[in-house]
Amino acid sequence: MMDVEEFKRIWLPLSGRFYRVAFYILESQEDAEDAVQDLFSRLWKMRGSLGSVKNPLAFGITVIRNICLDKVRSKMASKIVTPASEVFESVPDRDNDLSRSLIGKENLEKIRVCMARLPDKQREVLEMRVFEDMPFKEIASRTGMSEVNVRVKLSSARKNLKRMIEYEDN
């Protein structure tokens, strides 16, 4: 079993790298710090089997990545998200009062204008994912990008769209 000094000597110097991985995934200082703390707690509990780990950095990054992905999944599961396709379909009916109808049409137009301002690849990936509900693999094959690049473009598109809509609101 690994003692305290050996644990500190091997694992603590890697904490900065673990934090950077966590911050990259979670995009929050507090969440990244919590994830690293959770990592060290888990490592300490399994210290009896850590002696067989040949590459502590790779092992730790794998564990922190899984911790972060679990946190992201639990956050996403707890959020109620309205897909953009529903936003476009939710233009008020003629039966609704005029003020609600005008607000709905203004919001729809604002989204359309902002989407038109997105870079071509971001807009294309966003439309395929949101409106056509395509999996990342299919988007990648249609666009000639890697799946990772598709995810990055989609994330950038969402962030840019959100910023543009917030800017339009102010």
Residue 108 has what pLDDT? 65
Q: Of 78, 104, 128, which residue sits at a domain end?
A: 78
Contact 84, 111 (CB under 8 A): yes
Same-domain pairing of 12 and 70: yes
Same domain, 73 and 96: no
Indicate if 47 and 24 belong to the same structural domain. yes
- Per-residue confidence (pLDDT) for residue 169, from 0 to 100: 63
String of DSSP letters for the chain: ---HHHHHHHHGGGHHHHHHHHHHHH--HHHHHHHHHHHHHHHHHTTTTGGG-S-HHHHHHHHHHHHHHHHHHHHHHHS----HHHHHHTPPPTTS-HHHHHHHHHHHHHHHHHHHHS-HHHHHHHHHHHTS---HHHHHHHHT--HHHHHHHHHHHHHHHHHHHHHHH-
Residue 128 confidence (pLDDT): 85
Question: 128 and 147: one domain?
Answer: yes
- Residues 114, 128 share a domain: yes
- 44: domain CATH number is 1.10.1740
Domain boundary among 30, 58, 78: 78
- The pLDDT value recorded for residue 137 is 93
Mean pLDDT per segment of 10 residues, for the chain of length 170 residues?
A: 91 94 88 95 93 92 91 71 51 48 60 84 86 86 92 89 74
For residue 111, the enclosing domain spans 84-169
* Count of domains forming the chain: 2
